[in-house]
Amino acid sequence: MRIGVVDIGTNSTRLLVCDVGPAGVTDIERRSEVTRLGEQLEANGSLAERAVERVFAVLADYRQAIERHACQQAVAVLTSAARDAANGPWFTAEIERRFGLCARIISGDEEAQLTYLGAMSERSAAAGPAAVFDIGGGSTEVIVGRGRQPAFHVSMPIGVVRLTERHIHSDPPPPDEVRRLADDARGAVARLVPGSVREQVITAVAVAGTATSAAAMDLELEPYDHDRVHGHRLERGAVELLLARMAAIPEAQRRQVPGLHPDRAPTIVAGLAILLELLGACGLESVEVSEHDILRGAALIAAGEQAPT
């Protein structure tokens, strides 16, 4: 079955067109645009008109791609920004009306489960508990399990847009701003991911824009190469160096860094800080980067190949 899935997040709007069948998932087309839907959401409580229009413009292009590929189903999942916004239900209804997508706001728990399903869909059962880290714009999901069975999941209100707007007020950010941001992330992980869970983790997979950008920067990829990013092992020391480097230069220079999409330059400091805190909390020295995430999980559900746990 050919499926079109759109993930409308706080920082980016992404498309996956794929074929789903008994043999697995075959990607046909992937696209991603930084749309900053969550811009000023924490301060205002609603989705800003200009942010909504940015998403609508991207969805118009995605709708054409879905039609061109003759998708049998077309779905959209909306995550943290739409969950938190007073006008999130209106926004979701408009997506259905304007673009003909079966759109719905998913809970943080379902977001975590779909992410884990996507990340683990083509992996053999791990020798021990594995964690999946999904650092988004408005929230960060941590899911821990064995094989395809998640045993623990949590959605934490620490995303790259949220923490950037909360803590980063200078360009480049001085050490005290970066330190407060890291302290915020560390505190959330300590409160919301029990020590007994963190201590079990022996390996981790990181998905979404922060992780893939970090891998691309580590590999100095220009242009971006999905095949080289997928499966790349990112060392904790490399994340520390990337964070120090990105925090030391202004946004204009970050936009020129090989491997980093220019539109991710404003939030990459927060993303790297969150990733570093997750690695530290779980006592890990490295993480595997994966291109398989919530998009793949949602496609599997839409095709009826898997059931959420």
15 with 36, same domain: the answer is: yes
91 with 203, same domain: the answer is: no
What's the total number of domains in the chain? Answer: 2
Distance (Å, rounded) from C-alpha 225 to C-alpha 216? 8
**Domain interval for residue 240:** 124-289
Judged by DSSP in three states, 165 sits in helix
What is the enclosing helix (H) or strand (E) of 143? strand 140-146
Residue 309, token pair as written in the block = 């746990």
DSSP 124-162: PPPSS-EEEEEE-SS-EEEEEEETTEEEEEEEES--HHH
Say if residue 307's pLDDT is above 70.
Answer: no
What is the rounded average pLDDT for all residues in the chain?
Answer: 92
33 with 83, same domain: the answer is: yes
55 with 151, same domain: the answer is: no
Query: What pLDDT score was predicted for residue 22?
Result: 83
- Give the alpha-carbon dihedral of 138, 143, 18, 78, to 10 degrees: -30
Angle (CA) 162-35-296 rounded to 5° is 90
Residue 114 within any structural domain of the chain: no
Say if residue 217's pLDDT is above 80.
Answer: yes
Whose structure tokens read 């991603």? 32
CATH number at residue 49: 3.30.420.40
More confident residue, 306 or 287: 287
Residue 93 within any structural domain of the chain: yes
Query: What pLDDT score was predicted for residue 86?
Result: 97
Report the 10 Å Cβ neighbour count for 107: 11
169 with 281, same domain: the answer is: yes
DSSP 282: T
Distance (Å, rounded) from C-alpha 96 to C-alpha 142? 29
Residue 119 within any structural domain of the chain: no
Query: What pLDDT score was predicted for residue 305?
Result: 66
What is the pLDDT averaged over residues 155-179? 94
Judged by DSSP in three states, 172 sits in coil
Residue 74 within any structural domain of the chain: yes
284 with 298, same domain: the answer is: no
Q: Render pLDDT for 13-45 as a digit per residue (tens, 0 to 9).
A: 999 999 998 878 899 999 999 999 999 898 899
Residue 116 within any structural domain of the chain: no
CATH number at residue 274: 3.30.420.150
201 with 239, same domain: the answer is: yes
Query: What pLDDT score was predicted for residue 128?
Result: 67
Query: What pLDDT score was predicted for residue 125?
Result: 58
77 with 141, same domain: the answer is: no
Q: Render pLDDT for 58-102 as a digit per residue (tens, 0 to 9).
A: 999 999 999 999 999 999 999 989 999 999 999 999 999 999 999
145 with 205, same domain: the answer is: yes
Residue 213 within any structural domain of the chain: yes
Residues in a beta bridge with 288: 205, 233
Residues in a beta bridge with 211: none
139 with 278, same domain: the answer is: yes
Query: What pLDDT score was predicted for residue 306?
Result: 56
Residue 282, token pair as written in the block = 């779980």
How many Cα neighbours within 13 Å face the side chain of 305? 21
Query: What pLDDT score was predicted for residue 151?
Result: 87
Distance (Å, rounded) from C-alpha 86 to C-alpha 88? 6
Query: What pLDDT score was predicted for residue 309?
Result: 44
What is the pLDDT averaged over residues 235-255? 97
Report the 10 Å Cβ neighbour count for 27: 15
Distance (Å, rounded) from C-alpha 240 to C-alpha 276? 7
76 with 104, same domain: the answer is: yes
> In the chain, helix, strand, coil percent, each to 5?
45, 25, 30
